[in-house]
Amino acid sequence: MMRLAIIRQRYTPYGGAERFVESALEALLERNVAITLYTREWPETQLKRIEPRIIDPFFVGRVWRDYGFARAVSREVGHAHLDLVQSHERLLACDVYRAGDGVHAVWLDERLRDAPWWKRLGVRLNPWHRYVLATERRLFASPLLQAVICNSSMVRDEIRQTFGVADEKLRLIYNAVDAQAFSPALREWRGATREKLGIADDTLVYVFVGSGFERKGAATAIEALAQLPAPAHLVIVGREKDMARYAALARRLGVAARVSLTGPQADPKPFFGAADVFVLPTIYDPFPNAALEAMATGLPVITTTKSGAAELVAAHDAGYVVASRDVSALAERMRALADPATRDRMGANARNAVLHLTPDAMTLQLVLLYKELLEASALRQKHDAERKLKAHREAWSAKATTDAGGRRPGERRDPVSSKSSDTAVPPARE
């Protein structure tokens, strides 16, 4: 049985990364892989056979939080009997790093692209950003790191270009999606969900699903909706600390009655079922799971060039890709999907594009990666043992020769100074 450690500092049932963890690890458990999850907290989840290890050192502030957890969990895994350590956090004590958060340096560049100088300076001097940037550089240069799991070609290319990581270490493994749980059958929720939200059945509904509205581009979505004629409606699902800011933006633009802010939802399926189009104008997103789920549901997707989902959308004619923050371009594409024929065609393409991204297929890729890494590790250990044995034998042989002959191999004897009885020259008599 293989013993695998997974490191994830915060585990929340609302997060896309956690939905990835659950779908992947549930399948790995079926393949006789023993899994220990190192985390600060363990809520109720569907994973019943996983072994949680709570690592929750005291902290104040984000730097202390991340550094303290990294230090404590590194100490724990160092003492455990593990075959592989896979981290979803930026820390050095891992064999495999899943770059689910993308590249922090690239995210900051995107975030600050149009920011005033004082905001750029403030972010660059922020201790937490400096810590993350430094840790990221050390992580990708670590000799312990054997593989990096990239969830999109975008992230793979960014890591290669930013840190010069060798291609053989960068493994592209898309997230999985359950195409049975997320399917066009979710339209059975259409009537009930729309009634709950006060939306007429014949209204064109765009749905936005994602937590952290600044990065996901919720403001851009609201501004684009304001350029569309009524009764087009936008439903925003997700966790956000400053929800009032987005409600105020909708009021200011005169679309408060056409924007529904639902807050976080443990189950987004009814909202996918109630929608006609999925919209995610993200500033930077390595690969949003919500986009995969929307595509599996049969919704056309509008996202941005800095979204990992864009590569699937563009390759399969499953929606549209626009520049982030481009409100007019987003509104234009939203208007284009008001056409039912276009919507149906792109929605069908979207579902077909993700049908092969099954949990079983992703699990097989992970298992093959783990097998390859374990075999390479065993081979390295064998070669190290052989080198040590050879060095020991050479040292023993040299010592034995010295002890037996009084000199080391290749050493010339001085007959005058030698004290050996069989070669010494007796002194002349007087």
What is the average pLDDT across 84-93?
92
- CA separation for the pair 415, 420 (Å, rounded): 9
Task: Return the minimum-mean-pLDDT range out of 209-223, 237-251, 355-369, 411-425.
Answer: 411-425
∠ CA 210-214-219, rounded to 5°: 90
Rounded Cα distance, 18 and 25, in Å: 10
Q: What is the band of 399 on the pLDDT scale with cuts at 50, 70, 90?
A: low
388 C-beta neighbours (distance < 10 Å), count? 10
Report for 86-100, 320-334, 364-378, 384-398: range of highest mean pLDDT? 320-334
> What average pLDDT does the segment 279-295 reach?
95
Q: Report the C-alpha gap between 240 and 219 in whole angstroms.
A: 12
Is the pLDDT at 371 greater than 50? The verdict is: yes
| pLDDT band, residue 52 (cuts 50/70/90) | confident
315 neighbors 247 (Cβ within 8 angstroms)? no
Tell me the two tokens of residue 124. Answer: 């660059």
Please report the pLDDT score of residue 245 as a whole number.
Answer: 96
pLDDT surpassing 90 at residue 388: no
* pTM, two decimal places: 0.82
Give me 101's structure tokens. 């958060």
pLDDT digits (tens, 9 = 90+) for 30-45: 667 778 889 998 766 5
Is it the case that residue 204 has pLDDT exceeding 80? yes
The percentage of the chain sitting over the pLDDT mark of 70, rounded to a whole number, equals 82
- For residue 197, how far is the Cα from the chain centroid? 33
The one-letter amino acid code at 408 reads R
DSSP state at residue 427 = P
The secondary structure element, H or E, covering residue 269 is: helix 269-274
Which band of pLDDT confidence, cut at 50, 70 and 90, is reported for residue 421?
A: very low
Query: Do 404 and 174 touch, CB atoms closer than 8 A?
Result: no
* Mean pLDDT calculated for residue range 172-191: 94
For 13-63, give the DSSP string.
TT-HHHHHHHHHHHHHHTTTEEEEEEES-----S--S-EEEE-----SSHH
Architecture of the CATH domain 184-354 = 3-Layer(aba) Sandwich (3.40)
Is pLDDT larger for residue 424 or for residue 252?
252
Give the mean model confidence (pLDDT) for residues 414-422: 43
Q: Tell me, what's the pLDDT at 210?
A: 93
Domain boundaries, the chain: 2-176+359-380, 184-354
**In the prediction, which pLDDT does 49 show?**
65
Tens of pLDDT, residues 90-123: 999 899 999 999 999 999 999 998 889 999 999 9
Helix, coil or strand: residue 370? helix
C-alpha pair distances (Å), 421 with each of 151, 261, 408, 427: 77, 101, 19, 13
CA separation for the pair 69, 65 (Å, rounded): 6
pLDDT at 427 over 90: no
Q: What is the pLDDT of residues 219-238, one digit of tens each?
A: 999 999 999 999 999 999 99
SS3 label, residue 73: helix
**Do 184-354 and 2-176+359-380 have the same topology in CATH?**
yes
Token duo for residue 110: 């995107």
Indicate the angle between helix axes 127-141 and 117-125, nearest 10 degrees: 60
Rounded-to-integer distance, Cα 287 and Cα 217, Å: 14
**Quick one: how many helices (H) and strands (E) in the chain?**
16, 13
- Which pLDDT belongs to residue 17? 54
Between 27 and 250, the higher pLDDT residue: 250
Structure tokens at 50: 């996983």
Give the mean pLDDT of the chain.
87
Give the per-residue pLDDT at 413: 46
- Position 23 pLDDT exceeds 90: no
Give the domain 2-176+359-380 fold. Answer: Rossmann fold (3.40.50)
Closest by CA position to 332, among listed 253, 290, 254, 279: 279
pLDDT confidence bin for 425, thresholds 50/70/90? very low
| Mean pLDDT confidence for 275-279 | 98
